[in-house]
Chains A and B, each alone.
Chain A
Amino acid sequence: MDFHLTNEQQMLRKMYREFAENEVKPLAEEIDEEERFPMETVEKMAKLGMMGIYFPKEYGGAGGDVLSYAMAVEELAKVCGTTAVIVSAHTSLCCAPIFENGTEEQKKKYLPDLLSGRKIGAFGLTEPNAGTDASGQQTTAVLEGDHYVLNGSKCFITNGNVADTFVVFAMTDKSKGNHGISAFIVEKSFPGFSTGKHEKKMGIRGSSTCDLIFEDCIVPKENLLGREGKGFKIAMQTLDGGRIGIAAQALGLGEGAVNEAIKYTQERVQFGRRLSQFQNTQFQLADMHTRMQAAQYLVYAAAMKKQNHEDYSMDASMAKLFAAEAASDVTRRAVQLFGGYGYTREYPVERMMRDAKITEIYEGTSEVQRMVISSRLGVK
């Protein structure tokens, strides 16, 4: 696989890095501390085309490619895990399923506002009793004339409180199991739709995570996404793409922690020597960097396969599994290298460690990724 970045990708990396350093990093500690959604950053990213990177210009996208999108999430996550997941959930979980499954009317109606960042998107699949077992959907959708009536609730919805447009899954025919699930495009203004409690989380604390509640929610018939009964397939396909975004977030978090640890250990003096002069530090940093470099290859490979319309499902799972576990390990080691200071909120590594943990859980736990990979290997 050719990992040579194009001129455009190199230029974008520079732009993302400058933006992250100047606009995102200064807010990272504050939004974590205050559990505040950084709307001002979203507005800035929208102006730069970062809310619709790999979608065609005809729908309001920036006309880029999937790797350029993964690199954006990576560079944001190096300084702020929250900002990275806002872009990832919006792009991979809402824009992508509408672009890939929507009718021309749906694309023209919803994508320009989403891709330009005028509106934020979210994805509603998880329910209190349907997490890893997504097939256990209890939210129902009943067709009544020219509209569906949705009833039920969703939980742990990233961007939930700030989104305008949701891709939501509900049972249209319980007797058919997975084949009875359908996908819908729901606007927050639809009657019967509301959002519930904001989750207080361990990490990515600036991101909005809440319940979605549907009480006789009226969804026009034309907002069915794909055909009736195709919802489970759309959800799984969407999560394949989402895993590239989360893998990129994990990648950035780990890389950011390595950068912080290199900087700190070159300054901190103990026993009359800089920490970086101790072989333990050198070996730790060598291992940490190697793990993140390996993660980068997996993430970029998955992104390039998606871009080239190749089957990338197992690649996305491997990238997310490896990057998430590497990020958790590397951020934990970074805290250890910082010692007591690493455990304080004065330095960013404890935040990175808290942020990294979620990448092993959401959009398919590491255990689910292992299920996907082993099933692709034909291991039964």
Chain B
Amino acid sequence: MKIIVSIKQVPDTSGKVAVNPDGTLNRASMQTITNPDDMNALEAALKVKDATGCKVIVVTMGPAPAAGMLREALAMGADEAYLVSAREFGGSDTYATSQILAAAINTIGVEKDDVVMCGRQAIDGDTAQVGPQIAEKLHLPQVTYAADIQKDGDTITVKRMLEDGYMTIKVQTPCLITCIKELNEPRYMSVGGVFEAYSKPLTTFDYNSLKDDPLIDATTIGLKGSPTNIFKSFTPPQKGAGQMLEGADKATCEKLAGILVSKHII
């Protein structure tokens, strides 16, 4: 069994977000991190590895410096890494990106026992589209918003966290799961892991490595193959802190009910 985790290097939005005049992100001027939800996906995979000894493979599409992020994933405990990087892939939107990543995952190979894991969404684009699109293109069943994952043989039970509640479903491998931050607390790299990271295999897939895959077609990859046009990029306004009531007494409960009634929620 192996788990392929798709991860992405994103600008660290805890600092200042820089936007180019054309509305796209000015990535060069910002610090980068591994997308937080992807870290949860990687941690979920590493937990399965801790329990079963399975292999964990990380894959990313991005420019050459993204290899640094892959090495960090190897230092956390992943076994192999793939960097999908080529000029032809540049400018891809979610449709084209998932096309290329699906081809890369196809080339690595998805077998009966395998699982593909992704973060729910990346903090730069916030689309939550790449994971599900990879699943569609690989014809894999997909489970999104995983807040808990239990594996039993070839059956995986996933607790999905939705806006208004939880949904627990079972899925057979091979499948694709997108993960949310409630799933786990990502581990740190370990000292021993760092010293092993540079001796683990990191393979680069360029255009020639993937061009024979049926999913790779000049009209469906890169800027030309991307149907999305960016209208505007902006940092979403912070949500309000909300109102917290403390106490389990009757008066507090009545106050809570009163607020909910006044807002026509109940």
Contact = CB atoms under 8 A, between A and B. Distances in A.
Interface of A: 7-8, 11-12, 14-15, 18-19, 47-50, 53, 57, 62-64, 68, 72
A314 B193 CA distance: 33
Given A18-B188, A47-B190, A48-B188, A64 B195 contact: yes
Interface of chain B: mostly helix, strand, loop or mixed:
helix
B14 to A, nearest CB: 12
Interface string B176-195: 00000000000011111111
Given A7-B71, A7-B198, A12 B191 contact: yes
B190 A11 contact: no
Interface of chain A: mostly helix, strand, loop or mixed:
helix
A62 B189 contact: no
Contacts of A15: 75, 188-191, 194
A262 to B, nearest CB: 16
A257 B236 CA distance: 35
B159 to A, nearest CB: 26
A145 to B, nearest CB: 42
A64 B191 contact: yes
Given A15-B191, A63-B192, 5 more contacts: A8-B198, A15-B194, A18-B188, A47-B190, A57-B192
B217 interface: no
A12 B197 CA distance: 11
Q: Which of B75, B189, B191, B192 has the most CB of A within 10 A?
A: B191
A12 B194 CA distance: 7
Contacts of B72: 11, 14
The list of the 9 closest CB pairs from A to B, nearest first, reads A49-B191, A62-B191, A62-B192, A15-B189, A49-B192, A48-B190, A49-B190, A63-B195, A11-B194
Contacts of B198: 7-8
A15 B72 CA distance: 9
Nearest to A63: B195
B71 A62 contact: no
Contacts of B191: 12, 15, 48-50, 53, 62, 64, 68, 72
21 contacts: A8-B195, A8-B198, A11-B194, A11-B197, A14-B72, A15-B188, A15-B191, A15-B194, A18-B188, A48-B190, A48-B191, A49-B190, A49-B191, A49-B193, A53-B191, A57-B192, A62-B195, A63-B192, A64-B194, A64-B195, A72-B191
